[in-house]
Amino acid sequence: MPSTTDRFQEAVIFAVRLHANQLRKATDIPYVSHLFSVAALAMEHGATEDEAIAALLHDAVEDQGGKPTLEEIRRRFGDHVASIVDGCTDTDQHPKPPWRERKQAYIDHVHHASPSVCLVSACDKLHNSRCILSDVRVEGDAAFKKFTGSKDGTLWYYRSLVNGFAGKIPKRLADELERVVSELERLSSDHQTVQIIV
């Protein structure tokens, strides 16, 4: 993506407005930091402008209004952006379905998703897994307490996605996601061993 247009700038403003009052889970970090990080990763791995816009808006439907928000994205940015955002959406139901069932459905979905959906989703998962890894280095297994799936479920989910993305995303992105998730698994295993010995 050699340059951005007014559409991308509009998407930045729209994303900031949608997520203005949202924080990252169990932190004081503005949620938009995650959206900017995912968009940056997508652009660094060859995203088109549509894919970069979808990266900014990938959580909008799930977190900020469901299907009406998806239709607003379609109106503002077109069918392709809306289809990518829809493909990255875990669920638009409230209340959300049970965690394990929802995550398994998303893993299954990734196997058949478009390259654009896989690119944005993998960038999302890379940023999330980097943040988890950073927390685990400081807090140990306590870092997993904020997640519904706890440690075992979270590790299962990320490993399953690494496998699901294989061959569907740029190799450099796939390698980095593999490296981060493997390090997360190693640290978690080491921490568990220390607990047992003690």
Enumerate the domain spans of the chain. Answer: 6-197
Q: Does residue 63 have an active-site annotation?
A: yes
Nearest Cα to 189, choosing from 152, 143, 157, 159? Answer: 152
Q: Does residue 178 have an active-site annotation?
A: no
Beta bridge partners of 30: 23
How far the first Cα of the chain sits from its last, in Å, is 52
> Considering 63, 135, 141, 178, which one is annotated as catalytic?
63
- Give the position of tokens 């997993």: 144
Helical residues (DSSP H) of 45-170, grouped into ranges: 49-56, 60-63, 67-77, 79-88, 99-110, 115-139, 150-165
pLDDT computed for residue 195 by the predictor: 42
Read off the pTM. 0.92
pLDDT computed for residue 191 by the predictor: 56
pLDDT under 70 in the chain at which residues?
A: 1-2, 190-198
Choose the CATH number for 6-197 among 3.40.1390.10, 1.10.3720.10, 1.10.3210.10, 3.40.50.10490. 1.10.3210.10
User: Left (φ > 0), alpha (ψ -120 to 50) or beta: where does 166 sit?
Assistant: beta
pLDDT computed for residue 190 by the predictor: 67
pLDDT computed for residue 92 by the predictor: 84
d(C-alpha 48, C-alpha 115), whole Å: 12
Instruction: Measure CA 94 to chain center.
Output: 19
Instruction: Measure CA 135 to chain center.
Output: 17
- Give the position of tokens 């959906």: 117
Nearest Cα to 123, choosing from 150, 99, 88, 71? Answer: 88
pLDDT computed for residue 4 by the predictor: 81
> Which pair of tokens denotes residue 150?
């706890």
pLDDT computed for residue 2 by the predictor: 65
> Considering 62, 72, 90, 124, which one is annotated as catalytic?
62
pLDDT computed for residue 93 by the predictor: 84
d(C-alpha 159, C-alpha 182), whole Å: 8
